[in-house]
Chain A
Amino acid sequence: MLKIHLPETIFKNFISNLDFCIFADNNIDMNHFYIHIPFCRKKCNYCAFYSIRYDETSAKRFLDSLLKEISTTGSRFFDKSQEGKDKLDTVHAKTIFFGGGTPSILDANDISKIISAIEKNFGVEKFDEATIECNPESISLKKLLIYRKSGINRISIGIQSLGEKFLKFLGRIHTKEDALSSLDTAFESGFDNVSADLIFGIPEQTKEDILRDIDEIISRGVRHISLYSLTPERNTPLEKMVATGRVKLPSSDELAEIYYAAAEFFKKAGFRNYEVSNFALPEYECLHNLAYWLGDYYLGFGPAAHSFYEDKRWHNINSLEEYVERLTNGALPSTDCETIGYKEKFEEFIMIRLRLADGFSIKEAAEI
């Protein structure tokens, strides 16, 4: 393991050049990797993630640049001769997470290539948890089998709802049918750690609707569910619909009503509400997301991906065009580097730890 050291001046430089170089120092504490796949077939009404319409040419350019980003960053980060040092205290696992966008839209072999690139450049032998987000419309048995071969061991499916009219409202392009069969396919291909995303708080959606969805999904063998409330994010069609009054979202009391009912339901099913929006059977918590909440370091690759190391947080530019251009010019695509001082660190600690069922102890807070 290598720990890298980022001198202040270099970070300043990095902000101005929008590029950075990191001196390999003693040992690296980088155990979590996030890969952002910025493509979708169609934009959903509520979505504020960075993603653009998929086409093969863009996907090809993206992949080339991504691999370049991984190798450039890796070579600056990592010095193999330093391997074998201590691990960071809080880090007990190594994870990789393909998020998006719609990672399953890519050729499955591209996923293998990316994993290999990370492994090679960051000296990872095996990931404890390797997740890929999939959407029902772009999943297939063939892809899933390739994922398995390349080391993916966790599938997270963007089901969002099993109600046709709600899927339509959200602007999703899959049907209930697609959603359920994607779950079946996932299990069929040999995955046992399968997660589903669900959204609640859609206008007209009742408590019963949500409970029925959860029940149906759990009964197929899903062991982890992320339950998010529909939020009108900035610059989304949903935000406009809410602002103009065409759509009225439920009040916070109505949301609470549904949320607590769902939490109760999960509890009976043996799921633990280990984080506000996440429910899992024992041992099926998402390690990658936990790393965010526990304050571990992570590196993000791909446009708009976020990274955190020591006292710096930064992210990549939110544009595939610029992302490709930077990397073509031999620069890194990072931007908006922020130094986290004591105050920010403390606030973050309280904020994110309170999302977890385990919370924190006063002693831990005092030690920040």
Chain B
Amino acid sequence: MTIQKNIRNFSIIAHIDHGKSTLADRLLELTGAVPQDKMVEQILDDMELERERGITIKAHAVKMDYKNPADGKTYELNLIDTPGHVDFSYEVSRSLAACEGAILVVDASQGVEAQTVSNIYLALENDLEIIPVINKIDLPTARPDDVAEQIVEILGGDIDDIIKISARSGENVEKVLSAIIEKIPPPKGSADAPLRALIFDSFYDKYRGVVLYVRIVDGTLKVGDKILLFASNMEFEVDELGYLKLELERCSELTAGEVGYIMANIKDIRKARVGDTVTLSKSPAKEPLPGYHEAKPMVFSGFYPSNPDEFEDLRSALQKLQLNDASLHFEPESSAALGFGFRCGFLGMLHMEITQERLFREFGLNLIATVPNVKYAVYLSDGEVLWIERPSDLPEPTKIDHIEEPIVSAEIITPHEFIGGIMELVKNRRGEYIATEYVDPNRVMLKLHIPLAEIIFDFFDKLKTISRGYASLDYEFLEYRPADLIKLDVLVNGDMVDALSMIVHSEETYFWGQKIVSKLKELIPRQLFEVIIQASIGKRVISRARIAPLRKDVTAKCYGGDITRKRKLLEKQKAGKKRMKMVGSVEIPQEAFFAVLKIER
């Protein structure tokens, strides 16, 4: 236990790839939390997927003990490294709620980008002390002085206080440590007040049950204490406490201001929600902590196990993932084409992709994911409002008064030579221009309103192409607005494939109708009979394609009675068919269910 005034809790925030995790490496090294020989790059990115993709997906908390040369005292520094991608901004806001300060990292060659700005706002909302740091000054393209001006423009403050470092070489990183100690205030709570601990993260351990990551705001918690979880109103007995070092490190008590973990043999995952407050059952706090506003999923997709027997496995896997990813939403649904699955809500496409990948890697589940869509508000003629999370649920057009779709307010930071191209893209995506602001003499921030449905798929890739990689994008939900939307259905040999229905703008129905039909024609293998694919609006067919039947299979020589080989070949083909779904008598490969994503606009 450290005396409270020697504790510092902070997050590292930045736009994606500006070097948060690398700075965390250097801090861990400087404080001796990781021995030199154990060091690997971005050591906190310990998930296989994070390492492969070189990005942070989950916030990672870690405790460092640091003897400050300036005053000879030992400090407990709790660092939370956060992800930079816009899909995971919810992770950032949760992390910030457990801290008193934030290190804002800005890349010296890229300068301020879209998530730099949005993260600054998040930190300010949480009343955090912000320590601005310019990173990668070792790069030949570094412009630390320009970038410093950009930062002051947004954040205010004294330009000389900005620390210029190279997280790669370690240059000036010790200055970051001193600033943490000097500028970030120690936690305020009282060790004697009734216990209030914020659950800011959690994960599921096969043997120990749910492990809670908490920030103790008030009070003291000891092993053996009976705790109460506010939201679920459930009691548990603490059987282990500890600090979040690179590995978990046991201790006997946690006290106000500290960050650590709790194990209390919690087996029911649903009882331990991130954002909930932990208190003691014998002397409970009166009020819970403010907690988190729930992360609202923006995109929805049906996840179906390729093997229908794995429906329950998928449910329990989703529950376990949710524990460690509070922004994941799901509820059961069924599809005529795909059987039983879950409609899942995500913060964005990367979030969806990562979730699918984790279900595969961590739980061995092969999934078919339907094309993602946004959530629509459907106003019926009788005044009722329906919230539609999957296109096939859209009622008959005659019953609908009007449909509303989510609009986001988006900010794009770009060098000004690309403004023309970007505005063209925005126009094609039904976007509305709002304003331009200068970030520095060469770069602007475009403010726009765009339908979310138009940006979730390939908008970002297009933006990067148009701006040769220079533009960055940030967005957040603004409001629902009426739009002229229509449901497009797909029929295969006359059977409607519910999982392929989509909601599109009425002016684009022919475009989508033709594209989806020709894409499916490419993807559906030829069968022993003719297959007709149609796109329709209501009863009206707007596009059609024919897949000619297969005429012949190989007539190779039989290897002197090698029947086994022939049978194995057949078995292999059959295994291939497992990845197919039957719609009527037609085999449809899994890729077909997200064919729309591969359509070029």
Contact = CB atoms under 8 A, between A and B. Distances in A.
Interface of A: 34, 36, 48-49, 97, 99, 197, 226-229, 231, 233, 252-253, 255-256, 259-260, 276-277, 289, 292, 298, 300, 304-308, 313, 315, 336, 338, 344, 347-348, 351-352
A306 B570 contact: no
B562 interface: yes
Given A252-B551, A347-B567, A36 B560 contact: yes
A276 B555 contact: yes
B435 interface: no
Contact of B556 (A97, A231, A256): A231
Contacts of A260: 551-552
Given A99-B560, A256-B552, 7 more contacts: A48-B559, A49-B559, A233-B556, A259-B555, A298-B561, A307-B561, A315-B564
B82 to A, nearest CB: 46
B557 A34 contact: no
Given A228-B555, A255-B552, A256-B552, A300 B564 contact: no
B552 A308 contact: no
B550 interface: yes
Contacts of B570: 347, 351
Contacts of B557: 197, 226, 228, 277
10 contacts: A34-B560, A48-B559, A228-B556, A229-B554, A253-B551, A260-B552, A277-B555, A306-B560, A306-B564, A315-B562
Contact of B551 (A97, A99, A256, A352): A256
B563 A252 contact: no
A313 to B, nearest CB: 5
A85 B555 CA distance: 38
A300 B552 contact: no
Interface in B546-582: 548, 550-564, 566-567, 570-571
A348 B563 contact: yes
B567 A229 contact: no
Contacts of A347: 567, 570-571
A352 B556 CA distance: 13
A302 B9 CA distance: 77
Nearest to A305: B560
A38 to B, nearest CB: 11
A305 B563 CA distance: 12
A229 B551 CA distance: 14
A292 B564 contact: no
B567 A344 contact: yes
Contacts of A289: 558
Contact of B552 (A259, A292, A336): A259
A259 to B, nearest CB: 6
A338 to B, nearest CB: 6
A200 to B, nearest CB: 9
A347 B566 CA distance: 10
A227 B562 contact: no
Contact of B561 (A228, A231, A277, A308): A308
Contacts of A34: 560-561
Contacts of B555: 227-229, 259, 276-277
Nearest to A32: B561
Shortest 7 CB-CB distances between A and B: which pairs? Answer: A256-B551, A256-B552, A277-B555, A231-B556, A306-B561, A228-B557, A99-B560
Nearest to A306: B561
B555, B563, B566, most chain A CB atoms within 10 A: B555
A362 B551 CA distance: 24
A149 B551 CA distance: 45
A313 B558 contact: no
A358 B155 CA distance: 85
- Give the one of B550, B552, B566 with max A CB within 10 A: B552
Q: Most chain-A Cβ atoms within 10 A of its Cβ — which of B548, B550, B556, B570?
A: B556
Contacts of B552: 252, 255-256, 259-260
B351 to A, nearest CB: 38
A48 B551 CA distance: 26
Given A231-B554, A252-B552, A259-B552, A306 B559 contact: yes
Nearest to A289: B558
A227 B556 CA distance: 9
B556 A229 contact: yes
B567 A300 contact: no
A208 to B, nearest CB: 19
B553 to A, nearest CB: 8
B317 to A, nearest CB: 31
Given A252-B550, A252-B551, A338 B564 contact: yes
A160 to B, nearest CB: 11
Contacts of A344: 567
Nearest to B570: A351
A128 B557 CA distance: 23
Contact of B563 (A36, A256, A313, A336): A313
A193 to B, nearest CB: 19
A256 B567 CA distance: 23
A202 B559 CA distance: 20
Contacts of B561: 34, 292, 298, 300, 306-308
Contacts of A305: 560
B559 to A, nearest CB: 7
A352 B562 CA distance: 11
A344 B553 CA distance: 21
Nearest to B565: A306
Nearest to A351: B570
Interface in B506-561: 548, 550-561
Nearest to A258: B552
Contacts of A49: 559-560
A231 B557 CA distance: 9
Nearest to B571: A347
B583 to A, nearest CB: 23
Contacts of B550: 252
A210 to B, nearest CB: 13
A226 B563 CA distance: 18
A27 B558 CA distance: 29
Contacts of A315: 562, 564
Contacts of B562: 306, 315
A226 B571 CA distance: 26
* Residue from B551, B553, B563, B570 whose CB has the most chain A CB atoms within 10 Å: B563
Contacts of B551: 252-253, 256, 260
Contacts of B571: 347
Contacts of A228: 555-557
A36 B562 CA distance: 12
Contacts of B559: 48-49, 306
A348 B558 CA distance: 13
Contacts of A292: 558, 561, 563
A112 B417 CA distance: 88
A140 to B, nearest CB: 24
Contacts of B558: 289, 292
Contacts of A231: 554, 556
Contacts of A336: 564
A351 to B, nearest CB: 6
Name, among B548, B557, B560, B562, the residue most crowded by chain A CB atoms within 10 Å (CB to CB).
Answer: B560
B524 to A, nearest CB: 15
A112 B241 CA distance: 86
A348 B150 CA distance: 73
Contacts of B560: 34, 36, 49, 97, 99, 300, 304-306
B563 A352 contact: yes
Nearest to A302: B560
Nearest to A276: B555
A48 B557 CA distance: 10
A348 B563 CA distance: 8
A307 B564 CA distance: 10
